Amino acid sequence: MSKEHHIYTLVVQVGRKSGDGLPEGSTGAGLVCYASGVDEAEAVRETVAILKQADLAPLDVTGHGTLDERLSAGENIPDEERALMGRAKEENSVIVAQMEPFFTPLEEVSDDN
C-alpha cells in the first residue's frame, strides 16, 4: 500500500552555474515550486534533484507547507495556484510556478565602500 502524496509549496534559491539559462548579469534566482511527496523532506529531495538535472544550482529551500496547512494559516490561495498544485499531484511531479532572477545592485558591487 503506497502512502498518499501531498503537494508542498517550496521556495528555492538558486545560484549561478554554466548553462543555467538565467539572464545575463543575474546573481541567481528565486523559484516557487509545487512538489509532490509523502512528506516535505521527500518533496525537497525531488525538487533539488530535478533542478540539478535542469542545470540549476539549488542553494536553499524553504518549505511553506501543504495546501491545507496554508489554508489553516489563513492564506488566500488563488485558483491559478490551486490548479498548478493539482497538476503537480496528478503528474506526481515538481512544477516551477515562478522564477524571479536576482540582480546585485550596483552600489553593493562598488569598490568605493
Hey, what long-range contacts does 61-69 have (CB within 8 A, 24 or more apart)? Answer: 61/10, 61/11, 61/12, 61/13, 62/10, 62/11, 62/12, 63/8, 63/9, 63/10, 64/8, 64/9, 64/10, 64/11, 65/8, 65/9, 65/40, 66/6, 66/7, 66/8, 66/9, 67/7, 67/9
pLDDT tens for residues 27-50?
Answer: 999 999 999 999 999 999 999 999
pTM for the full predicted model: 0.87
At residue 112, does pLDDT exceed 70? no
Instruction: Read off the C-alpha cell for 112.
Output: 568605493
